[in-house]
Amino acid sequence: MSRAVADTFQETLVRELGADVVQRDLALDPLPADAWTHTAATRGLPVEERSPEQQAAYDLATTLADELVAADALVIAVPLYNFGVSQHLKTWFDLIIADPRFAPGQQPIAGRPATLVVARGGGYGEDTPRAGWDHATPYYERILSDVWGLDLTVIEAELTLAHVTPAMAELRELADQVQNRAHDDARSRARQIGESLRRAA
């Protein structure tokens, strides 16, 4: 579902703006879990003293930061798994923050538009039993909005398990509404970004 809503965003933006898209699929092509340790070990270490693993991790962090710095707009699609952050996305954040351009206090992409699409099987509204159990979205907001200074919009596609979970049968209509709204929000966010990028061009 997160991918489908992000696809709606991307298709709209490409239609509006003819935008070039760079995709990085962290689920199909995961970042190595030990890359952060290796790149962190290169800090202050002359190039000739780095191990091949350390240099490869450093180069990977540089590539990820290059991709991000080159982007006029960012969309991230991520599911909620076990109430916490995606390990893949966490590794992506960690590696980018290891790049000197993103060192604490640096905001090389501040003010750019970012859109976070979060898919959740259940419901986490304020008046539900699971309110406050999504420990991932606040973390993503902290990094994207507060640490990197991006102009962030969060689109939430909830109740995605309603149609395959008998106990959620009575929530199916609501689930359809919530998910249709997520696609509508993705379309209008993409149009808004398209317009402002076109004006700035």
Ligand X SMILES: Cc1cc2nc3c(=O)[nH]c(=O)nc-3n(C[C@H](O)[C@H](O)[C@H](O)COP(=O)(O)O)c2cc1C
Chain residues that interact with ligand X, rule: CB under 6 A: 1-3, 79-83, 119-122, 160-161
> 60 vs 136, which CB is nearer to ligand X?
136
Residue type, 22: V
CB of 39 to ligand X, least distance (A): 28
> 60 vs 117, which CB is nearer to ligand X?
117
Nearest CA among 33, 145, 155 for reference residue 87: 33
CB of 88 to ligand X, least distance (A): 13
CB of 135 to ligand X, least distance (A): 9
CB of 130 to ligand X, least distance (A): 7
Tokens coding 113: 């538009």
> 123 vs 194, which CB is nearer to ligand X?
123
> 79 vs 108, which CB is nearer to ligand X?
79
Nearest CA among 184, 7, 166 for reference residue 192: 184
Q: What is the per-residue DSSP string for 118-177?
A: EE-SS---TTSTTTT---SHHHHHIIIIIIS--EEEEEEE--TTGGG-GGGGGGHHHHHH
